[in-house]
Amino acid sequence: MPDTTSASQQPDPRLRSKHSSSAKAELQSFFRGFVYAFRGVAYTVKTQRNMRVHIFAAILAVVAGALLKISLIEFGFIAIAILSVLVSEMFNTVIETCVDLISPEYHPLAERAKDVAAGAVLVNAGMAVIIGIIVFAPPLISLFTKL
């Protein structure tokens, strides 16, 4: 049977190669985004003392959770608390960096922006401590009453 498809209805091979190279470029761009993201995390860890303190506290919380055999749901709450503090610390770093870029000299509004950003981290860390108390207090009390 003869091919009745007109030339205009058949796929253009040039479009296919252009599409595949475009898809390849998109995939490379996607993975490059991870490089930039990891660079941002590394920068925050290297330059922000409080981020290192939060990471140390996170490691202690995970180890304590494992030793106390807390439930998966409790680990979920601990993970949410840990990650929210780390993310808020990173946003604090973003805000402080942007304020320093825009206002290298002292300005009371720049100070206020930095203080509020730091306050947000403090509130978030306070929430994480409360979650830690709720999760860890019962097994710790149980452990110490057995001794």
Q: Which residues are catalytic?
A: 89
CB-side neighbour CA atoms (13 Å) of 33: 6
Which residue type does 88 have?
Answer: S
Q: How far apart are CA 100 and CA 94, in angstroms?
A: 10
DSSP output for 66-134: HHTT--HHHHHHHHHHHHHHHHHHHHHHHHHHHHHHH--S--HHHHHHHHHHHHHHHHHHHHHHHHHHH
How many whole angstroms from its chain centre is CA 93?
A: 13
Q: Give the number of other Cβ atoms within 10 Å of residue 37's Cβ.
A: 10
